[in-house]
Amino acid sequence: MNRINPIHIAILLVVILAFIIMKLHDAKEELAQNKESYQKTLVLADKIKGLQSSYFNKIKIQKSLERLLRQSSLRSANITKKVTNSGILLTSESMDIKALNLLMGKILNGAYNISNLKIKRLNNEKASLKLEIKW
């Protein structure tokens, strides 16, 4: 009666084996979910990297704004440009409406991070502008 029955040991080993198999199956499912989550994170990281390279490239933004402000219709608009460490501030006290429309069309269709935009109509043909672009 003092001896352990070999059948009890065999049943215990089978139960332990079944428990280990269940844990292994759960670990495999968790690994599959983590792989799927990792793939989604990679796609999101690629999108963020693309947005960052187009919206936060200081040199690219400055060159495109210089090219835009050199247009003949915008030269006569008396737009002053102030460059800071965090962005560019474009201001004009009196600007022609056609020049304003051209500028806004180019700015809003471009890849610029506009943080502040104030347009005030002075009369039927003139408006004032304050535009801040961050990088």
0.75 exceeded by pTM = no
For residues 69 and 92, is the Cβ–Cβ distance under 8 A?
no
Alpha helices for the chain (secondary structure H): 6-55, 58-69, 72-75, 97-109
More confident residue, 51 or 28: 28
For residues 77 and 95, is the Cβ–Cβ distance under 8 A?
yes
Using one digit for the tens of pLDDT, what is the confidence trace for 20-42?
999 999 999 999 999 999 999 99
Using one digit for the tens of pLDDT, what is the confidence trace for 56-102?
778 888 899 999 989 888 888 889 999 988 889 999 998 989 999 99
DSSP state of 79: -
Strand, helix or coil for residue 76? coil
